[in-house]
Chain A
Amino acid sequence: MTATATRTAGARAVAGRLFGGGSATVFALLALVFVAILFLNPSFFEPPSLMAFAKKAAPLVILAVGQYLVIVCGELDLSVGSLVGAQVVIAAALIDGEESRTVPVLLVMLAFGVLVGLVNGLVVTVLKVHSLIATLGMMLVLYGAIRLWTGGAPTGALSDGFRQVGREGIDMPVLRQLPWALPVAVVVVVAGVALMRKPFGRTLITTGDNERAAAFAGVRVWRVRTVAFVLSSVLATLAGVLIGGYAGVTAQVGEGLEFTAITAVVLGGVVLGGGRGTVLAAMAGALTVEALFTLFNQLSLPSTVRPTVQGVIIIAAVAWAARERRRPFLPPQS
Chain B
Amino acid sequence: MTATTTRPRLSRRLGSTELVYAALLGVLAIGAVLVAVRGGNLFGTANLVDMLTRSSLLGFVALGQTFVILCGSLDLSVGYVMALCSLIGATTMAGDPAKVPLGIAAVLVVAAGIGLLNGLIVSVLKVNPFIATLGMGLVIKGYLDTTYKGPAGEVPSSFQQFGYSRIGFLPVSTAVMLVAVVLGILYLRRTRTGYHMFAVGGSAEVARLSGIRTGRVVVMAHVLCAVAAGVAGLLVAARFGTGSALVYSSGYDLDSIAAVVLGGTLLMGGRGGIAGTLGGVLILAVLDTVFNILQVDPFFKDVLRGVVIIAAVAIYARRQIDRKASRPRFGNGPPPEPAPDPPVPVGQGADR
List the interface of chain A (C-beta within 8 A of B): 76, 123, 127-130, 132-134, 136-141, 143-145, 147-148, 152, 259, 262-263, 266, 271-273, 302-312, 314-315, 318-319, 322-323, 326
Contacts and interface: CB of A to CB of B under 8 A. Distances in A.
Interface stretch (B31-39, B47-55, B128-136, B270-278): B128-136
B138 interface: yes
A155 to B, nearest CB: 14
B10 interface: no
Contacts of A147: 299, 302
Given A132-B267, A133-B261, A319-B126, A141 B306 contact: yes
Contacts of A144: 299-306
Interface in B115-152: 121, 125-128, 130-132, 134-139, 141-143, 145-146
Interface residues of B, number: 43
A262 B314 CA distance: 24
Contacts, number: 147
B329 interface: no
A315 B135 contact: yes
Which A-B residue pairs are the 8 nearest by beta carbons? A308-B142, A144-B302, A311-B138, A140-B306, A304-B145, A128-B317, A307-B142, A141-B306
Nearest to B317: A128
A259 B303 contact: no
B19 interface: no
B127 A128 contact: no
B107 interface: no
Given A147-B299, A307-B138, A311-B136, 5 more contacts: A132-B267, A136-B257, A140-B305, A259-B134, A304-B142
Interface string B335-347: 0000000000000
A280 B297 CA distance: 44
Contact of A143 (B121, B302, B314, B318): B302
Contacts of B110: none
B309 interface: yes
Contact of A312 (B139, B297, B300): B139
Contact of A128 (B134, B139, B314): B314
Interface string B198-238: 00000000000000000000000000000000000000000
B138 A310 contact: yes
Contacts of A262: 130-131, 134
B46 interface: no
A111 to B, nearest CB: 20
A137 B139 contact: no
Contact of A141 (B136, B143, B307, B313): B307
B299 A319 contact: no
A7 to B, nearest CB: 24
B121 A152 contact: no
29 contacts: A127-B314, A127-B317, A129-B310, A129-B314, A130-B313, A130-B317, A134-B310, A134-B313, A136-B257, A137-B306, A137-B307, A137-B309, A137-B310, A143-B299, A144-B303, A144-B306, A147-B302, A148-B299, A262-B134, A272-B130, A303-B145, A307-B138, A311-B134, A314-B131, A315-B127, A315-B135, A318-B132, A318-B135, A323-B126
Contacts of B267: 130, 132-133
A309 B146 CA distance: 12
Contacts of B268: 130
B97 to A, nearest CB: 33
